[in-house]
């Protein structure tokens, strides 16, 4: 695959010597395309907040759990405070149409300013769920906080929540429970600032040692 | 965005009532496109192992840390055992050309069978790093185990490692440290079995409260 193209090798000392912002950009992008989403919260004084995250990770299906990584000293702090104070948050997909708005939520707005209003996204409530959803999102989850796990290696936190409500377009649900995110318009991201739409390669049959890889279907 | 398309709402009891495999497929896909990679390991008896993971998550850039979620009772067990025994593993990107091979590593091969050989991928060593890389991958990382963090909500483990070696195509590195995964041929996945190539939407300038979202560049 690399063929004639030269491969660069950086070892530990090379990585340590990179200028801080350069290293942040590099390490954030090397791991692959990421699960990017908008996390909606509200504190008990009714101040809403919306922040973009690219650290969503699937934790389990039964119960349905998702994880998010937080750096406590960053712009994500308001989101974390609201989650711990209220116990609830929403996770919303990002579609190509509102990528600029979603990206803008990363700016450091004041505590008493809502990113919904400042970034042009709709603060939507679905009674009786406490936290605000993104009205423009096609896939939305209402999540309840379960636990916050310190990562001692660098002082970040893994926040685990349980999906209590799932909202999604009827025409994106396959017969076997697969939710077609490409059809739902979801995008993915890389690094800190790059966004991508997707093109289906295919779904594969459950892998077995006595069967060759078999394509199940192209999604569209 | 949803417009005329009906949105389905499932709440906690609906999710709990889903048939187990259906729920696994649904919950694995609802969170968004995922960081998919191949994790290469070897035990001290020189038995290699290769497994596909879709739970890679960025933990931090300084030091450069990545996380992977493990379900201890699954096919990923051999990988976890090897990481804990040897202290090292590799993380390799997946390109469209070898998606079938990568998917096939999820089959339950015996402890003494290498997925490299059985799935048609090249077991590549880069001295002096202990664990095997995927020869076909264009982006490869040599990682050292740092800590294993139990997630009490469901008995899974978050394994944290530090990137000690980074290998990547020279022509994919931008001036600011951004690694162009689209150009490197990396794919993304959704759910348990669906793979996607990507199409750049664009990179955006660092978000600031006093600036409107500004596209920096299209990657190609």
pLDDT in tens, A119-149: 999 999 998 999 999 999 999 999 999 999 9
Report the residue from B66, B179, B201 with minimal CB separation from A99: B201
B 25-44: CB under 8 A from A: 25-37
Report the pLDDT value the prediction gives residue A75, as an integer from 0 to 100: 65
What range defines the domain where residue B131 resides? 29-217
Report the pLDDT value the prediction gives residue B12, as an integer from 0 to 100: 97
Number of structural domains, chain B? 1
Q: How far is the alpha carbon of A156 from chain B, nearest alpha carbon, in Å? A: 7
* B18 inside domain: no
* A12 inside domain: no
Report the pLDDT value the prediction gives residue A77, as an integer from 0 to 100: 85
Residues of chain B above pLDDT 70, percent: 95
Q: How many H helices and E strands in chain A?
A: 6, 13
Report the pLDDT value the prediction gives residue A218, as an integer from 0 to 100: 58
**Residue B91 pLDDT exceeds 80:** yes
* A1 inside domain: no
* A122 inside domain: yes
SS3 content of chain B, % helix, strand, coil (to 5): 20, 40, 40
Cis peptide before B198 (omega within 30 of 0): no
pLDDT band of B220, cuts 50, 70, 90 = very low
Q: Do A104 and B28 touch (CB under 8 A)?
A: no
pLDDT band of B4, cuts 50, 70, 90 = confident
* A4 inside domain: no
Residue A162 C-beta-side C-alpha neighbours within 13 Å: 16
Identify whether the C-beta of residue A184 lies closer than 8 Å to the C-beta of residue A138: yes
* A60 inside domain: yes
Chain B contact present for A122, CB below 8 A: no
The CA distance from B102 to A140, in Å, is: 30
Stretches where chain A sits below pLDDT 50 are: 1-2, 219-220
**Residue B149 pLDDT exceeds 60:** yes
Report the pLDDT value the prediction gives residue A187, as an integer from 0 to 100: 98
Residue of A nearest to B11 (CA): A165
pLDDT band of B77, cuts 50, 70, 90 = confident
Report the pLDDT value the prediction gives residue A23, as an integer from 0 to 100: 98
Report the pLDDT value the prediction gives residue A2, as an integer from 0 to 100: 47
What is the SS3 assignment for B13? helix
Report the pLDDT value the prediction gives residue B218, as an integer from 0 to 100: 58
Chain B contact present for A157, CB below 8 A: no
Report the residue from B7, B20, B187 with minimal CB separation from A169: B7
Report the pLDDT value the prediction gives residue B175, as an integer from 0 to 100: 96
Residue with tokens 């609201």: A82
Chain B contact present for A120, CB below 8 A: no
The CA distance from B85 to B82, in Å, is: 5
Spatial CB neighbours of B46, under 8 Å, sequence gap ≥ 6? none
Residues of chain B neighbouring A117 (CB-CB closer than 8 A):
none
Cis peptide before B204 (omega within 30 of 0): no
ipTM surpasses 0.85 = yes
Residues of chain B neighbouring A64 (CB-CB closer than 8 A):
15, 23, 27
Distance of CA A58 to the CA centre of its chain: 10
- In this prediction, residues B84-113 reach a mean pLDDT of 96
Q: Do B57 and A67 touch (CB under 8 A)?
A: yes
Report the residue from B190, B195, B199 with minimal CB separation from A181: B190
Q: Do B1 and A97 touch (CB under 8 A)?
A: yes
What is this structure's pTM?
Answer: 0.95
Note the pLDDT tens digit of each residue in B189-215. Answer: 999 999 999 999 999 999 999 999 989
Would you say how long chain B is, in residues? 220
Q: How much is the mean pLDDT over chain B?
A: 94
* B3 inside domain: no
State how far the alpha carbon of B137 is from the alpha carbons of A100, B94, B150, B172, in Å.
32, 6, 30, 14
Report the pLDDT value the prediction gives residue A111, as an integer from 0 to 100: 87
Report the pLDDT value the prediction gives residue B216, as an integer from 0 to 100: 84
Chain B contact present for A220, CB below 8 A: no
**Residue B90 pLDDT exceeds 90:** yes
Residues of chain B neighbouring A164 (CB-CB closer than 8 A):
11-12
The CA distance from A67 to A65, in Å, is: 7
A 92-111: CB under 8 A from B: 93, 95-97, 99-101, 103-109
Q: Do B168 and A7 touch (CB under 8 A)?
A: yes
Chain A contact present for B200, CB below 8 A: yes
Output DSSP code: residue A23: H
Chain A contact present for B13, CB below 8 A: no
* A5 inside domain: no
Q: Do B202 and A216 touch (CB under 8 A)?
A: no
Cβ-Cβ pairs closer than 8 A, A with B, add up to 401
The CA distance from A78 to A88, in Å, is: 13
With residue B103 as reference, give the H or E element that holds it.
helix B99-104
State how far the alpha carbon of A220 is from the alpha carbons of A25, A200, B212, in Å.
34, 7, 35
**Residue B163 pLDDT exceeds 50:** yes
Q: What is the 3-state secondary structure (H, E, C) of A31-83?
A: CCCECCEEEEEECCCCCEEEEEECCCEEEEECCEEEEEEECCCCCCHHHHHHH
Chain A contact present for B219, CB below 8 A: yes
Q: What's A141's domain CATH number?
A: 2.30.110.10
């Amino acid at each position: 695959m690399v063929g004639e193209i030269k491969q660069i090798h950086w070892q530990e000392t090379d990585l340590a010597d990179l200028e801080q912002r350069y290293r942040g950009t590099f390490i954030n992008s090397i791991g692959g395309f990421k699960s990017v989403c908008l996390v909606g919260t509200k504190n008990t004084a009714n101040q809403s907040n919306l922040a973009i995250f690219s650290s969503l990770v699937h934790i389990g299906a039964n119960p349905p759990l998702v994880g998010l990584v937080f750096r406590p000293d960053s712009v994500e702090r308001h989101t974390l405070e609201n989650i711990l104070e209220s116990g609830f948050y929403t996770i919303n997909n990002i579609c190509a149409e509102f990528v600029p708005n979603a990206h803008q939520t990363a700016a450091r707005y004041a505590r008493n300013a809502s990113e919904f209003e400042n970034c042009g996204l709709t603060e939507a409530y679905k009674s009786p769920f406490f936290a605000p959803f993104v009205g423009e999102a096609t896939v939305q989850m209402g999540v309840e906080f379960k636990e916050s796990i310190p990562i001692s290696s660098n002082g970040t936190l893994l926040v685990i929540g349980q999906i209590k409500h799932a909202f999604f377009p009827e025409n994106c649900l396959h017969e076997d429970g697969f939710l077609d995110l490409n059809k739902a318009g979801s995008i993915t991201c890389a690094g800190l600032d790059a966004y991508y739409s997707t093109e289906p390669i295919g779904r594969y049959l459950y892998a077995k040692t006595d069967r060759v890889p078999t394509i199940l279907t192209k999604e569209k």
